Structure 1
Amino acid sequence: MLRPWDLQIDIDTRIDKAVYIQIADAMIAAIKSGKLQSGDPLPGSRHLAGQLKLNRNTVIEALNVLLAEGWLISRERSGTFVAEDLPSFKEVKRKAAAAPSGAVQLPPSIVFNDGIPDTRIAPIPQLAGAYRQIFNRKGRWQMMGYSDSAGDVDFRNAIVQMLNYKRGMRLTTDEIFITRGSQMAMYLTAHSLLTPGDVVAIENPGYKPAWLAFENAGAQLLPIGVDNEGVKVDDLKAHLKNGKLIRAIYITPHHQFPTTVTMSLARRLELIALSNQYNFMIIEDDYDNEFHFGQRPILPVSSYENAQHFVYIGTMSKIVSPALRIGYLATSKELITKVSALRKIIDTQGDNMMEQAVLQLINDGHIKRHLRRATLLYKNKRDAFENMIREHLGDKVIFQKPEGGLAFWLQPKNEIDHTSLAKMLLDKGVQILLPESFSYGEPVNGLRLGYASLTEQQLEEGIKKIAQIL
């Protein structure tokens, strides 16, 4: 059982108040201030007496007062704990109990996230086994020291091989940088590339956490619309021809966030040509490249031979688990040097041990086997979810079955009040994302429903409840 830190109780022998009362009053003050909270365990009387340099009977007397007044409770063979129903908080609890009957008391049972993988199928036993083996290897003490801020060199070599073989890129090890997740990669890129006042074009709707990273670096955002071929490159071209100085564009071309559309080949080629002509950076977030259910995945924009200015960002979190904070960025050696210098200010290096463990999963074939199983599972779940949407929402929404990724994009045929919809669904135990979370300016009329982390039973129950309200 987790025991508390030593309690700081000052005893003043110059006053008339009995010592055991001083102890009791100090504990009550700690509870009222929140330092001690309901359910917190207290030190044993022997330990507390030793800390305060008092007779144990004095401490026991103080605890008995607190037990009698209801501040503490005693559990057989477990110890003494702060009570759940505290004397001075009863009135507050009564008011909370009298809340309106429509208030949500429990967390939602169904959460449509933005496309998080199913952690129940993650190769956790294999990862844990690999991690243990790392500690038993010869030379493990060297691994516990500092390493390259860009990441373990063997792990970077493995990522380079994957990107070159699977995604058609032409990278070397010193053009890859390992980060703690893709958001860190976004932040480091923004602060290494941008100066205050620089303009960054963004997809609208799009991925707001990336926008926040750019704004944090002082950038001005320029929203560019999205249609069924991806970001509208003609709109970007118009801004450039009108003299707009654009430092970078942020895109999610494989499965656009949140609409799931794939950027057409014509637009990819035109975007590269514009980037070369106007000297702006293409920041490509390929957040779920691994899960594509068509004949073959589309190669990244950054893989084209004529792409001169690019930052390619990816993650291992969608492959293994969101809790596994390993991302990466690929770009020029010059920008990697800036990223490395910036990273050292806030974080000397990444998780060298975890990188070695994931590398072992790659080398042992566990990652490849997991991806095969996961892709089949998600494809079947996607097909089942499509049938549910057609059955229950077919006359209410417009959508295209996504060729990949872990979410659907639904557009209600009529304009709806998304805030009211979200509130009514939450009352029914279903949580959805509001369009404000991926819209720049006026919220778009759309719902992004992640399906991968839910069971088919939960998916159908959730869709039925959405259909009832719509």
Structure 2
Amino acid sequence: MNSPVEFPYESFILINRSSEISIYMQISNQLINAIQRGFLPFGIKLPGTRALSIILNVHRNTIVAAYEELFAQGWVESLPNKGTFVIGKNQEKPFQIKDFEKNNLEHYPKSTGFSFKTSNILDNPFEYSNCEYIFNDGVPDIRLTQIDHHSRIYSSILKRKAHKIGQYNQDGSEFFKKNLSQFLNLSRGLPISKNNLLITRSTEMSIYIVSEILLSEGDIVLVGKLSYFSVNMIFQKAGVKIQPISIDDEGINVEEVREACKKQKIRMLYLTPHHHYPTTVTLSAKRRLELLNLANEYGFIILEDDYDYDFHYDKSPILPLASADTNGMVIYIGSFGKSLVPGFRTGFIVAPENLMIEMRKYLGIIDRQGDVLMEHVLGEMIAEGEINRYLKKSLKIYQERRDYFVSLSEQNLGEYIDFQKPSGGLAVWMKWKIPVNLMQLSRNCAQNNLFIPKTLLYQNKNLTAMRLGFGNLNLNEMDKSIEILSENIKLLS
């Protein structure tokens, strides 16, 4: 090709005049892209600024600015009386123009040029839908949160405490840890200091760190026969052997735990004693003491997840196992600010100081930056009593929703399901009295604008059950959701 003007520049330089990126930068970026991918070979002469401006239908000064950008970045050189050339050796052989498909320079590679390990264990179990009504496994309603108030606190702290927040600390905000330790002491009876706390982004992150440090391939971990799927995925990824233990109305079966310990070395027991996931039952006080004694006798770790601890309605919650642990056998994990908007939530781990030292090493690798500013906000909400006021207000609303949801379910689904009114939490565990294909029921409901994710469905030869959250639904949404569910179960029964 003798003339640089003959090159099909208009086929790969596509200008978006509504973009926030200036036109000259769009042109220079796409020219660089073409050079990097071999469409513009080293040594080729670019068109003159006037010629390229005509081809692309832009002002000549725009092309001048684009060429100046290319020169500044070292992609081209300008030779007096000769023109502008892509830096590099001239082609020894005649250059053949590659085939240009529409937008082919904008496509990112569809696959890697190297092999890597893949995991079926960590396949995303979550589903999403555009249905108007959605059941989940029991999450708060962010519409109840006082976003404006939270934002004002955030903005205020950013202004008046910037000099403190600006200092980097991979262990997070000392102010928040101090206030959170006091909060956990008062609300959960945990006699801890800030030195016993590790701040994480989520419960899953906490469990991942614990697994990396405390579990080895082949270790045996006991979990409920029905347990939280995300946690099981983390354990499986660690290469441990998961052994399920049955659950009844008092929580996990302690005698089965005892028998398992007699037969083999147990490394860890994971449980959600306050409201077991997914059945919502509370571990009895008697069994809590028995589990602590077994842990001391057989030397296994108790990983206690305080899932839904903040949401209790009928009576004061039973204190965590960690509050009665005197031998350092319990690791306590949870989330703070679950009822707040997602950006204002955080996770935490409570453990003895010697283990905390090792945990901070792992946190420094996977979340070194953290979110110190947000932790300051949460710390101030504790210090000023704002979190207690908000929890008290939201609990009243969630209790009303629980009562209405239970009443509504009894009226419309009573002949099909069996369930107990939960003492806390944001979900109801429902067992079906009749044979029903839950996946088919879910698909039928989706066609009527009600989404029931597969993670809420529990079905095998011995069990047909669902965990339905009510916390995110107002009364009108509950009416419509139960109506759709009721109508579709009648069609299948």
TM-score by length of 2: 0.76
SS at match of 1:460: helix
Alignment partner, residue 230 of structure 1: 251
Higher RCO structure, 1 or 2 (CA under 8 Å, sep 6+): 1
Report what 2:286 is aligned to.
Answer: 266
Matched, 1:425 2:445: yes
Residue 60 of structure 1: which of 46, 57, 60 is its match? 57
The amino acid that maps onto 2:302 is: I
| Cα drift, residue 217 of structure 1 | 2.1
Give the corresponding residue for 2:399.
379
Aligned to 1:6: none
* 2:397 is aligned with 1:397: no
The answer as to whether partners of 1:436 and 1:443 remain within 8 angstroms in 2 is no
For the residue of structure 1 that corresponds to 2:435, the secondary structure is: coil
Q: Which residue of 2 aligns with 1:23?
A: 9
Percent identity among equivalent residues?
30
> What residue is the counterpart of 1:77 in the other structure?
none
TM-score of the superposed pair, with normalisation by structure 1: 0.79
Cα distance change of structure 1 residues 16 and 171 upon mapping to structure 2, 3 Å threshold: closer
Structure 2 CA distance for aligned equivalents of residues 225 and 54 of structure 1: 77
- Tell me the residue number matched to 1:434: 454
Equivalent residue number for residue 162 of structure 1: 183
Which residue does 1:416 correspond to in 2? 436
The range that moved more, 105-114 or 202-211, is 105-114
What does the per-residue CA deviation read over 1:240-291, in whole Å, with 9 as the maximum and x for residues that have no partner? 12x2211011101101111111111121111111111001111111121111
Change (3 A) 1:309 1:318: same
Per the alignment, residue 179 of structure 1 pairs with 200
Aligned to 2:110: none
- Structure 1 vs Structure 2 CA RMSD: 2.8
1:49/1:59 contact within 8 Å kept? no
- Summarize the Cα distance change of 1:276–1:47 in structure 2 as closer, same or farther, 3 Å threshold: closer
Q: CA deviation at 1:49?
A: 6.0
Gaps of 5+ in 1: 1-12, 31-35, 63-86, 89-104
Which residue of structure 2 aligns with residue 339 of structure 1?
A: 359
Summarize the Cα distance change of 1:317–1:444 in structure 2 as closer, same or farther, 3 Å threshold.
farther
What residue in structure 2 maps to residue 449 of structure 1? 468
The correspondence for 1:115, drawn from 116, 121, 138, is 138
Deviation at 1:236, TM superposition (A): 1.3
Cα 1:47–1:271 shift into 2, 3 Å: closer
**2:237 aligned partner:** 216
Letter in 1 for 2:481: G
Q: State the alpha-carbon separation in 2 of the partners of residues 443 and 343 from structure 1.
A: 42
What is the deviation of 1:357?
1.1
> Alignment partner for residue 330 of structure 2, among 310, 318, 322?
310
Residue 286 of structure 1 corresponds to: 306
- Give unpaired runs (5+ residues) of structure 2: 32-47, 60-101, 104-127
Give, in whole Å, the separation in 2 of the partners of 1:16 and 1:365. 71
CA–CA distance in structure 2, aligned partners of residues 108 and 254 of structure 1: 32
Change in CA separation of 1:250 and 1:432 when aligned onto 2, cut-off 3 Å: same
Whether 2:174 is the aligned partner of 1:153: answer yes
Further displaced range: 140-149 or 179-188: 140-149
- Cα distance in structure 2, aligned partners of 1:152 and 1:294: 35
In 2, are the aligned partners of 1:258 and 1:438 still within 8 Å (CA)?
no
- Mapped to 1, the partners of 2:457 and 2:355 lie a distance apart of 30
CA–CA separation in structure 2 for the residues paired with 1:402 and 1:18 = 75
In 1, Cα distance between equivalents of 2:273 and 2:405:
23
Distance 1:311 1:442 in 2: 35
Q: Match of 1:282, as an amino acid?
A: I
Residue equivalent to 1:206: 227
- Cα distance in 1 for partners of 2:458, 2:297 equals 30
Return the letter of the residue paired with 1:278: Y
Aligned to 1:388: 408
1:144 match:
166
Q: Which whole-Å CA distance do the structure 1 matches of 2:216 and 2:415 have between them?
A: 48
Q: Flag the 1:41–1:283 CA change in 2: closer, same or farther, 3 A.
A: same
Q: Give per-residue Cα distances to partners, 1:264-322, cap 9 Å, x unaligned.
A: 11211111111110011111111211110012111111111446400111112413123
| TM superposition shift of 1:324 | 3.1
Report if aligned partners of 1:116, 1:450 keep a CA contact under 8 Å in 2: yes
Equivalent position to 1:135, from 158, 162, 169: 158
